[in-house]
Amino acid sequence: MCGILAVFGCIDNSQAKRSRIIELSRRLRHRGPDWSGLHCHGNCYLAHQRLAIVDPASGDQPLYNEDKTVIVTVNGEIYNHKQLREKLKSHQFRTGSDCEVIAHLYEEHGEEFVDMLDGMFSFVLLDTKDNSYIAARDAIGVTPLYMGWGLDGSIWFASEMKALSDDCERFISFPPGHIYSSKQGGLRRWYNPPWFLEQTPSSSYDPIVLRKAFEKAVFKRLMTDVPFGVLLSGGLDSSLVAAVACRYLAESEAACQWGSQLHTFCIGLESSPDLKAAREVADYLGTRHHEFHFTVQEGIDALEEVIYHIETYDVTTIRASTPMFLMSRKIKSLGVKMVLSGEGSDEIFGGYLYFHKAPNKEEFHQETCQKIKALHLYDCLRANKSTSAWGVEARVPFLDKEFINIAMSIDPEWKMIRPDLGRIEKWVLRNAFDDVQKPYLPKHILYRQKEQFSDGVGYSWIDGLKDHANKQVTDAMLTHASFIYPENTPTTKEAYCYRTIFEKFFPKNAARSTVPGGPSVACSTAKAVEWDAAWSKNLDPSGRAALGIHSAAYEEAVDAKNKSSLSGSPKKLQGVGEKASAVV
């Protein structure tokens, strides 16, 4: 990952303004510690903090066309850049950077080239011939981008909120799959896949097609000139990423530089579910596995720094970001700069445990569509910013454009959880990789029940966070929360605690409006809470809150109060999840 900052239409273009832009860009240096660049043209500034992954020697930014009339600053990776270069043979390339194709594609096609890009990206491009500019963000929002407006009429773009929040009167999270054009004066959607309309698809399920699409998505993300690895929790998604990467690593160019043994990384509290499962998968695949431990107190001590970097007060995101943040620091200390991760699968296939209660395939599909559309505010934000805090890039093969289109065209009847047919959550994905002749994973790993990352690192992590919040926030503070925080009012002490830290770093109204709100159970949308009346009494984003589904589900609130004196740990409940697991 890199950090970009661009400002257009400044009234002041003095040396002091240039110094201010450099100062603000420096706030993004954690994202790109390898080099800094700045291009000024009149009242326009394009700044860049580089994390060198492809072509470390010559790919410094900003990047240019042949006569330097087109300037572009980019955060991301363009996986099909070699194919695009083949179509641009009349152009002269200055670097081996995958992102340089953007400047030349603009010359060839004007603003209508973004859908040609296969990758994750946020970029800003200036055409000095007419002083017009565009900004665009990838289809799902894997890379972050913010857009702001200054009182002097200037327009700002930045990878993170911290680079523009002080100097903009208003700012927003730039919507994924959109382009901003100064010529047209507004945002428009460039990404318009069939699933976006949320109409129920009817295509049949072909496990081989699905498998090959995912293998292709993983393989293209092995494009790197630096050491890399896979984040391995031992759950289905990360294990499949690791299994496919292991199978095809030897065929990649990366293997020529870094060898054919994959590095995998896992973090958790001592004896956590993830550590055990990840170790087993790593042994099975023969990876060079790195296991990191942290304590609840170490996680709590990091909360302020985590919230500063991830720029949210969403409870689920903070719970999961903290161990990922700590792990990324360890990974960087080993000299690794790029990792593959398993985000996006649960949204595409209905993997969260609350999907067990989906009343029909139409609502199941609509919920998956809504979850994918919101990923840039949750899991994409977490995966990107938690790793970028330490100069590590996270790539997410499940969010490959082609793979999503195939997966979202499947009739959702196939995705529905059907214990009577032996189908647990994400059965279509599990089945696609259930190869008897040449197994990708052991059966019990392939059919392991869903653990959200914040749960899997150790259940006492969430319990410890709640205990910490109870000590920091009084009953009176929570009672009066609606007066202190009238927008997105925190409803728990944990949420209140995180909100207080967030407001310290980002006090403006515009900042708090970039964070979504609303009731949720086990990461559901507010609409899905209606699927089970009991959930409204237990609104917690942990997977254990899906009462009667998770094998370590919370007890209902009344029972928990009655039995709190007997045990502080969640009681194991017999439920749908256990029955489904037993069938497979």
pLDDT of the chain, 584 residues: tens digit per residue: 799 999 999 988 889 999 999 999 999 999 999 999 999 999 999 999 999 999 888 888 999 999 999 999 999 999 999 999 999 999 999 999 999 999 999 999 999 999 999 999 999 999 999 999 999 999 999 999 999 999 999 999 999 999 999 999 999 999 999 999 999 989 999 999 999 999 999 999 999 999 999 999 999 999 999 999 999 999 999 999 999 999 999 888 888 888 889 999 999 999 888 899 999 999 999 999 999 999 999 999 999 999 999 999 999 999 999 999 999 999 999 999 999 999 999 999 999 988 999 999 999 999 999 999 999 999 999 999 999 999 999 999 999 999 999 999 999 999 999 999 999 999 999 999 999 999 999 998 898 876 655 566 767 999 999 999 999 999 999 999 999 999 999 999 999 999 999 999 999 999 999 999 877 766 778 788 888 877 766 766 665 555 566 555 544 443 444 444 444 333 332 232 322 222 22
Q: Is 256 a known active-site residue?
A: no
Secondary structure class of 276 (helix, strand, coil): helix
**How many Cα atoms sit within 13 Å of 513 on the Cβ side?**
11
pTM of the shown model: 0.91
Q: What is the dihedral of CA 526, 141, 179, 154, to 10 degrees?
A: 90
Query: Roughly how many angstroms between the first and final C-alpha of the chain, as a whole number?
Result: 40
User: 130: how many CB neighbours lie within 10 A of its CB?
Assistant: 9
Retrieve residue 28's tokens.
């993004």
CA 497, distance to chain mean position in Å, is 23
DSSP assigned state of 277: H
Q: Which of 34, 57, 44, 43 is nearest to 6 (CA)?
A: 44
Contact, 277 vs 445, CB < 8 A?
yes
Helix (H) or strand (E) holding 40, with range, is strand 35-41
Q: Annotated catalytic residue: which of 2, 10, 266, 497? A: 2
Contact, 245 vs 403, CB < 8 A?
no
